[in-house]
Amino acid sequence: MDQKQKIFERTPRARSRYTLEALGLLGRLIRLSRIEKRMTVQGVADRAGISRGLLQRIEKGDPRCEIGATFEAAAIVGVTLFESDINNLAVHSKRANDMLALLPKSVHAGTAVAHDDF
Protein backbone atom coordinates (compact mmCIF):
# COMPACT_ATOMS: atom_id res chain seq x y z
CA MET A 1 0.00 0.00 0.00
CA ASP A 2 0.98 3.63 -0.21
CA GLN A 3 1.68 2.95 -3.84
CA LYS A 4 2.27 5.99 -5.98
CA GLN A 5 -1.18 7.29 -6.72
CA LYS A 6 -1.97 8.00 -10.33
CA ILE A 7 -4.55 10.59 -11.11
CA PHE A 8 -6.40 10.39 -14.37
CA GLU A 9 -8.28 13.52 -15.19
CA ARG A 10 -9.98 14.12 -18.46
CA THR A 11 -11.02 17.69 -19.03
CA PRO A 12 -14.44 17.95 -20.63
CA ARG A 13 -13.82 18.46 -24.29
CA ALA A 14 -14.52 21.95 -25.59
CA ARG A 15 -15.10 21.96 -29.31
CA SER A 16 -14.89 25.09 -31.38
CA ARG A 17 -17.86 26.05 -33.44
CA TYR A 18 -15.83 25.37 -36.56
CA THR A 19 -15.01 21.83 -35.51
CA LEU A 20 -18.62 20.98 -34.79
CA GLU A 21 -19.76 22.48 -38.07
CA ALA A 22 -17.09 20.65 -40.04
CA LEU A 23 -17.91 17.32 -38.43
CA GLY A 24 -21.60 17.86 -39.01
CA LEU A 25 -20.98 18.59 -42.66
CA LEU A 26 -18.72 15.59 -43.08
CA GLY A 27 -21.38 13.36 -41.58
CA ARG A 28 -24.06 14.73 -43.83
CA LEU A 29 -21.85 14.31 -46.88
CA ILE A 30 -21.28 10.68 -45.98
CA ARG A 31 -24.98 10.14 -45.51
CA LEU A 32 -25.73 11.95 -48.75
CA SER A 33 -23.31 9.86 -50.78
CA ARG A 34 -24.47 6.67 -49.15
CA ILE A 35 -28.10 7.29 -50.03
CA GLU A 36 -27.24 8.46 -53.54
CA LYS A 37 -25.45 5.18 -54.08
CA ARG A 38 -28.38 3.33 -52.53
CA MET A 39 -26.33 1.65 -49.86
CA THR A 40 -27.80 0.78 -46.48
CA VAL A 41 -26.29 1.81 -43.16
CA GLN A 42 -25.68 -1.82 -42.32
CA GLY A 43 -24.05 -2.46 -45.68
CA VAL A 44 -21.61 0.41 -45.39
CA ALA A 45 -20.87 -0.46 -41.78
CA ASP A 46 -20.04 -4.03 -42.76
CA ARG A 47 -17.73 -2.89 -45.51
CA ALA A 48 -16.01 -0.47 -43.15
CA GLY A 49 -15.70 -3.12 -40.48
CA ILE A 50 -17.65 -1.11 -37.93
CA SER A 51 -21.03 -1.44 -36.24
CA ARG A 52 -24.24 0.05 -37.48
CA GLY A 53 -24.50 2.24 -34.41
CA LEU A 54 -21.08 3.73 -34.97
CA LEU A 55 -21.87 4.63 -38.55
CA GLN A 56 -25.03 6.33 -37.37
CA ARG A 57 -23.00 8.42 -34.94
CA ILE A 58 -20.53 9.26 -37.68
CA GLU A 59 -23.33 10.44 -39.94
CA LYS A 60 -24.60 12.61 -37.10
CA GLY A 61 -21.20 14.27 -36.76
CA ASP A 62 -20.36 12.92 -33.31
CA PRO A 63 -16.88 14.22 -32.43
CA ARG A 64 -16.12 11.14 -30.34
CA CYS A 65 -15.45 8.63 -33.06
CA GLU A 66 -12.22 7.13 -34.23
CA ILE A 67 -11.02 9.22 -37.11
CA GLY A 68 -9.93 6.05 -38.87
CA ALA A 69 -13.44 4.64 -38.80
CA THR A 70 -14.86 7.91 -40.08
CA PHE A 71 -12.40 8.22 -42.95
CA GLU A 72 -12.93 4.59 -43.88
CA ALA A 73 -16.69 5.01 -44.04
CA ALA A 74 -16.27 8.22 -45.99
CA ALA A 75 -14.01 6.59 -48.55
CA ILE A 76 -16.41 3.68 -48.99
CA VAL A 77 -19.27 5.95 -49.98
CA GLY A 78 -16.98 8.06 -52.14
CA VAL A 79 -16.31 11.05 -49.92
CA THR A 80 -12.59 11.71 -50.11
CA LEU A 81 -10.88 14.56 -48.36
CA PHE A 82 -7.95 16.53 -49.73
CA GLU A 83 -7.78 15.07 -53.20
CA SER A 84 -10.04 12.48 -54.66
CA ASP A 85 -7.48 10.16 -56.15
CA ILE A 86 -4.78 8.38 -54.29
CA ASN A 87 -2.01 9.46 -56.61
CA ASN A 88 -2.54 13.11 -55.92
CA LEU A 89 -2.71 12.32 -52.26
CA ALA A 90 0.66 10.60 -52.38
CA VAL A 91 2.13 13.63 -54.12
CA HIS A 92 0.82 15.98 -51.49
CA SER A 93 2.08 13.64 -48.85
CA LYS A 94 5.58 13.75 -50.27
CA ARG A 95 5.53 17.52 -50.55
CA ALA A 96 4.52 17.85 -46.92
CA ASN A 97 7.38 15.61 -46.00
CA ASP A 98 9.88 17.62 -48.00
CA MET A 99 8.70 20.85 -46.41
CA LEU A 100 9.04 19.40 -42.97
CA ALA A 101 12.61 18.41 -43.66
CA LEU A 102 13.46 22.07 -44.17
CA LEU A 103 11.82 23.37 -41.03
CA PRO A 104 13.32 23.42 -37.54
CA LYS A 105 12.87 20.14 -35.69
CA SER A 106 11.65 21.74 -32.53
CA VAL A 107 10.04 25.02 -31.69
CA HIS A 108 11.11 27.11 -28.78
CA ALA A 109 8.61 29.49 -27.25
CA GLY A 110 9.28 33.20 -27.39
CA THR A 111 7.80 34.10 -30.75
CA ALA A 112 4.71 31.94 -30.58
CA VAL A 113 1.86 33.66 -32.36
CA ALA A 114 -1.80 33.45 -31.45
CA HIS A 115 -4.14 32.14 -34.14
CA ASP A 116 -7.64 32.01 -32.79
CA ASP A 117 -9.11 33.33 -36.00
CA PHE A 118 -11.08 30.32 -37.11
Q: Which residues bind its own copies (CB under 8 A)?
A: 11, 13-19, 21-26, 28-29, 31-32, 34-40, 43, 49, 63-72, 75-78, 80-82, 86, 89-90, 92-93, 96-97, 99-100, 103-104, 106-109, 111-113, 115-116, 118
CB of 2 to its own copies, least distance (A): 27
By CB under 7 A, tell whether 7 contacts DNA.
Answer: yes
Helical (H) or strand (E) element with 92: helix 86-102
- The distance of Cα 60 from the centroid of its chain, to the nearest Å, equals 14
CB of 23 to DNA, least distance (A): 12
Q: Which residues contact 44 (CB under 8 A, 6 or more apart)?
A: 34, 55, 73, 76, 77
C-alpha distances in Å from residue 37, one per residue of 47, 48, 87: 14, 16, 24
Binding interface with DNA (CB under 7 A): 4, 6-12, 35, 40-42, 49-54, 56-57, 59-60, 62, 64-66, 69, 104-110
